Chain A
């Protein structure tokens, strides 16, 4: 089966610019997660979708980050405007259900200069 697809793999932007990441989860996986992983740290959950509804976005900086999952399949994560501290790897994961493993994409490495 195809894995979780993410694009782009790398992105360099200047602070105050905007950026968007795209994720295509595994077919049939209702749960989709976006994580932010700063170098040397564990992944931090930003937002969790169940189909096209948001389940948890308690750690999403909503003044600059937004995410959507139209039609309950693909998802985009946007940052506007970016700050230097947003430099990180952004990971997308999908999961069939609560008792199953999560599958991760390769991530997007964002550098804000």
Chain B
């Protein structure tokens, strides 16, 4: 992709394990966001981290941002079957543009 990458493309884990997804981008950003998408449904916002922040937590989610490496990671701890979904990072470029990565498909097996 000319704009960024997410890896892995797909991840399969057992319930209770942690899941880590990575995102890289190529421009200067104002913030970076993570979204979840269940099959056939719209995107749901999970967490936003600003460019001057390095780490942020929300419940079982932990997001890190390294602007020097233009990368972010999303960690979901103690995963549940209900966490099965596609996860997308989206970076907020200046001018209010919001660009999405290719996504990671997470499957949590019970």
Contact = CB atoms under 8 A, between A and B. Distances in A.
Interface of A: 4, 31, 33, 35, 41-45, 48, 50, 55-56, 91, 93, 95, 97-107, 109
A91 to B, nearest CB: 7
Majority SS at the chain A contact face: strand
Contact of B103 (A42, A99, A101): A42
Given A44-B100, A48-B97, A98-B30, A103 B92 contact: no
Given A91-B42, A99-B30, A101-B48, A50 B97 contact: no
Contacts of B30: 98-99
A106 B41 contact: yes
A98 B33 CA distance: 11
A112 B95 CA distance: 33
Contacts of B110: none
B42 A31 contact: no
B101 A42 contact: yes
A29 to B, nearest CB: 11
Interface of B: 6, 30-31, 33, 35, 40-45, 48, 50, 88, 90, 92, 94-103
Contacts of A95: 96, 98
B50 A99 contact: yes
Given A43-B88, A101-B48, A102-B45, A50 B102 contact: no
A102 B91 CA distance: 11
A45 B88 CA distance: 14
B88 to A, nearest CB: 5
A97 B35 CA distance: 17
Q: Most chain-B Cβ atoms within 10 A of its Cβ — which of A35, A44, A48, A101? A: A101
